[in-house]
Chain A
């Protein structure tokens, strides 16, 4: 809601307050000021510098102030042709003290050119030499200072201004014609200088979507008086120009009609047009402007019908207005010319012949009031015949006055919201109705609208209103106690203090002991009943007391039992371990596409179509229309994005999403790792370091699992990978990895993950470098549940005996089997077995390999002799001979 302070001043005295004071008060009171736009209002000392220096101000500020000396109200007494230019005129202008000849190219002065001395001078905004205004011809807003210059041989040093030049609007087609009563010589800033606060209206502040609404809050927050609202002519008596029938009062609790006769449609006075522009509405004519003006002033949206059209439709019968829901498929052409197909959710304002308007959202084309005077129709090229409707509009008959039936109603806000959304018709009216407009203000709105129309059009207000009010809301009454205030806000207030605060926003307060019984004022809809009402009222107490004034305290409540979050803590430890082994964390979009993930499958995207996904119903792009099932696919994409990096070691931790038809999905958490590129980054003395391979990844996994204190870890060769369906995409076919270079990771007998080199066919589908791509995936729940207790290995006191042995075995014998046998046979005394060489040679024989191990023998309670160590070694060798046909290599 844009609030011009000139308008606010109609309702309250703001003397002694700077614009920023007002903006700050509103902002702290829950009405955040998002921008301040000056259009002539004097700027505060700091504000004036804001525009073009780095001086601090608290609000985003735009616009200009008008120099009181140099920009004044003036009158043009005669418009004369320019001697050397057809498109320029010279104005004989009087600024209250002096006569000037002012050069201008304003097209709206051409009509007056060469007509001699004007019978009625034109009131204009006059900027003298040295005044700073916006450059009317520049793109956007560029400040310029008026300087003396010669234009086509005529001296020019001042100008008559357009709205753009004064920062009122974008309009630069012609100069401003002020209202006739504008006092010549008065500084323009005093006459109509303004500043607009752009105020954010939260849903609980719907009552503030009007000048009165904000003025009421501001007055309460500042403890100032609100000027009382006139009764606009006391329209209480029952009017006889129409009847009303409401079908469903829950959808339409109130409907009010008023009538103005003999309205001459014409532009509104300039001060009205200016205010409407300031609030962001385009002036149309005095009828439409009056409905808008009354809405911005009071918050009640109004709708004007052409009464003559309604009478014609009613034939001999009196005009009768009905409100009802639409029939499914019913059609209505709204005033934007669009034929709309309605549903039973939409509420219509109708007469007995049919629909007239889409209630609370948009009027219908047929009954719209518009200027049908002969001049306008001629200008539009519409042929008129007396009594003959043309272009479907009964009122097109070349008449110069109309009778206007004015509607002010209350609607169910949910219904209006849904209707406005359904038909994509956001408007100032639907904005207000869809947030709730109290039915009690409907008659006030209509009365003000009628008054303004009569005033601006020379029409006459018909006596009385027609008012159907079948469902007046009960304005909630809430009991607030001093204890409630203490218990919830933490401040001590007496019942009187509470009553004083709430009275400021017009709650009716009755104090009884420690309890204040408050009744909601009849214009707000945001206060509930019972405990909710209490919270609503306490919010008001807090706001008015000043949230800044509430003290800061520490919680007196006992600290709840500290249970921690072992899963979260474990996951964070995992992250630390991962970065300690040189991996960098990535975080990807959870939304992806089946096509993107299909790249991870050797089978390709056809197979992939069968995979069930959690699908987004309203994706922002087809590339993000499902939730990921594979975390590895995300990390591979991340690697792909960094294809230029010479070395990558990435990981991601996060959920994947496994659907359950029409129910919430599972969200298992995963860890995925990708490594590719050079093992050691190139440097001035490091060139062509080898690429990461399987064992680099394995080394990191070993460090990771050791860091997690996992024991009993084993790595099974690919043959052991089960072919069955697994929960994530990557395992569906088991072909993510090179079949000879992958392994399943087990802790005890539980599978916790797999890793390996990405299958060459899979790799082809990614834009990755030439180096092998290593990947690993873990299921975090499985990994975490594999945790066992920590057991410390005592630090040995007696010296160890070291010995190397090399055995020759068949290629098919896995190294892990040999090591297992060594450890098993050696028992506790063999404290370490480290493979230090794998060797293949013709001398050993084809299909054979030599495995060389460093053994450490150590006893916890004595110094071992060489002989004792040798005895164990012999046992080991013998066992290896028996079990895997190993031969000791000498």
Chain B
């Protein structure tokens, strides 16, 4: 009997050695440890054995069963491992094939830069104030201390709108966001004419100049105008605020410098340069070898402008500044040609 069991065991183990697949494993299991396998038949025949033989054969059969089951487990694991190893080896992707594109929308680069500017200014307390794009000469020039026929007007050639009977107050496309200064001041002052409230606004929007369209000049461009009016605002505050702004915009180590300049609606006026962030001030083609980039114009609000806005210049002071997001974007992204901005070519827009 024990010979028979040894034969069963040997045959089973030999057969198991040849098993290499899941299917064969199942077939082996049925054949060698299944209900009608020779081993199980031995168990089934135990009842027919003598009292003496029964435990001996039972024990021996049990040992074979445990051994076969263990061998089966082991083999199962080996087969699975081999299958996994095989599949891992076979399932090699060409990782250099392109990924499947997921649709993605983009903001226009002007919007991206406008947001950067406005976000920084918002944290400094400058609230967005928007105003109209088609303006009167009065708001675009006269109230901003550009008298009729003043030489400063020559710096800003305008697009005029067909309209009759308007005399010295024609309609035009705003050449700057500065009319917003007046509209804001008048709006604020109207809330309390005796004690107008302080102002801190940022005015973004499209402006227009009569120019030829070239790589460097455009007929429309965005501007962001800042205005702070209050009872204790100084030129030193203007410098402090804009220096902070430049650090936020161009990095904590950005160096700035201020040069005297002239704008009709501010006095004193200045131009702020920031050290070229492309070359770190060493000089490169972006900064035209000067190491500095002109970033914005600024100054103390001219007393005539304060008065026109309803703020008494003897009591209130203020500063204003203006900058061009497209110019900043051009510097930041090294865009060489301003015509890309309104060209609406998706190959350009898709890059931002």
Contacts and interface: CB of A to CB of B under 8 A. Distances in A.
Interface of A: 27-30, 32, 50, 54-60, 202-206, 413-414, 417-418, 434-435, 486-491, 531-532, 534-536, 538-539, 542-543, 547-548, 550-565, 567-569, 572, 575, 578-591, 614-620, 624, 627, 637-638, 641-642, 645, 648-651, 654-655, 657, 661-665, 667, 681, 683-686
A203 B149 contact: no
5 contacts: A56-B291, A57-B290, A535-B302, A542-B260, A548-B257
B202 to A, nearest CB: 9
B95 interface: no
A620 B212 contact: yes
B165 to A, nearest CB: 6
B239 A552 contact: yes
B110 to A, nearest CB: 6
Given A30-B262, A565-B129, A657-B134, A617 B107 contact: no
A58 B149 contact: no
Contacts of B267: 535-536, 538-539
Centre residue among B103, B110, B228, B343 by max chain A CB count within 10 A: B103
A585 B108 contact: yes
B133 A655 contact: yes
B237 A556 contact: yes
Nearest to B303: A531
A572 B115 CA distance: 9
Contacts of A567: 130
Interface string B196-210: 011110000010101
A550 B197 CA distance: 27
B88 interface: no
B317 A488 contact: yes
B134 A579 contact: no
Identify which of A534, A535, A563, A684 gathers the most chain B CB atoms within 10 Å of its CB.
A535
A538 to B, nearest CB: 6
B39 to A, nearest CB: 49
Nearest to A24: B259
Closest 8 CB pairs of A and B: A490-B236, A490-B234, A579-B105, A30-B260, A56-B283, A582-B103, A202-B262, A557-B230
Contacts of B234: 486-490, 553
Nearest to A435: B151
Nearest to B259: A28
B304 A203 contact: no
B289 A554 contact: no
B197 A583 contact: no
A560 B184 CA distance: 13
A560 B104 contact: no
A542 B268 contact: yes
Contacts of B350: 584
Nearest to B242: A552
Given A539-B267, A684-B98, A575 B206 contact: no
Given A587-B342, A589-B342, A32 B303 contact: no
B138 to A, nearest CB: 11
B125 A203 contact: no
Contacts of B108: 585-587
Interface string B237-280: 10111011000000000000111111010011111000000000
B163 A662 contact: yes
Contacts of B198: 557-558, 560
Contact of A539 (B125, B239, B268, B283): B268
Contacts of A538: 267-268, 300
A556 B232 contact: yes
B271 to A, nearest CB: 8
A585 B111 contact: yes
Contacts of B97: 684
Contacts of B15: none
A581 B230 contact: no
B103 A617 contact: no
Contact of A417 (B149, B261, B282): B149
B171 interface: yes
B90 interface: no
Contacts of A413: 151
Interface stretch (B5-13, B28-36, B154-162): B154-162
A642 B345 contact: yes
A568 B236 contact: no
B164 interface: yes
B132 interface: yes
A204 B150 CA distance: 11
A594 to B, nearest CB: 13
Contacts of B171: 662-664
A203 B132 contact: no
B164 A557 contact: no
A553 B173 CA distance: 36
A27 to B, nearest CB: 6
A493 to B, nearest CB: 12
B197 A560 contact: yes
A32 B151 contact: no
Given A59-B290, A203-B152, A662-B166, A547 B260 contact: yes
B352 to A, nearest CB: 9
Contacts of A627: 134, 161, 173
Given A434-B151, A539-B268, A590-B206, A683 B239 contact: no
Contacts of A490: 234-237
Contacts of B342: 587-589
Interface string B97-137: 11011011111101100010000000001011110111110
Contacts of A562: 125, 127
A583 B107 CA distance: 9
A681 B344 contact: no
A557 B232 contact: yes
A60 B291 CA distance: 11
Nearest to B306: A531
B236 A559 contact: no
A32 B230 CA distance: 31
B270 A590 contact: no
Contacts of A486: 234
Given A30-B262, A434-B151, A435-B151, 7 more contacts: A27-B259, A551-B239, A552-B243, A554-B244, A585-B349, A587-B110, A627-B173
A684 B103 CA distance: 16
A58 B291 contact: yes
A250 to B, nearest CB: 14
B98 A683 contact: yes
A457 to B, nearest CB: 35
B344 A665 contact: no
A615 B161 CA distance: 6
Given A54-B289, A542-B235, A587-B341, A28 B260 contact: yes
A642 to B, nearest CB: 5
A348 to B, nearest CB: 19
A560 B233 CA distance: 13
Nearest to B256: A552
Contacts of A50: 289
A57 B283 contact: yes
A664 B136 contact: yes
Contact of B230 (A555, A580, A584, A637): A555
Contact of A579 (B106, B135, B289, B341): B106
Contact of A582 (B105, B127, B260): B105
B7 to A, nearest CB: 57
Contact of B103 (A28, A542, A614, A649): A649
Contacts of A560: 125, 127, 197-200, 230
| Residue from B213, B303, B314 having most chain A Cβ neighbours under 10 A | B303
Specify which of B129, B133, B199 lies most central, judged by the most chain A CB atoms within 10 Å of its CB. B133
Given A580-B105, A657-B134, A618 B343 contact: no
A413 to B, nearest CB: 8
Q: Name the residue among A547, A583, A614, A685 with the largest chain B CB count within 10 angstroms.
A: A547
B53 to A, nearest CB: 61
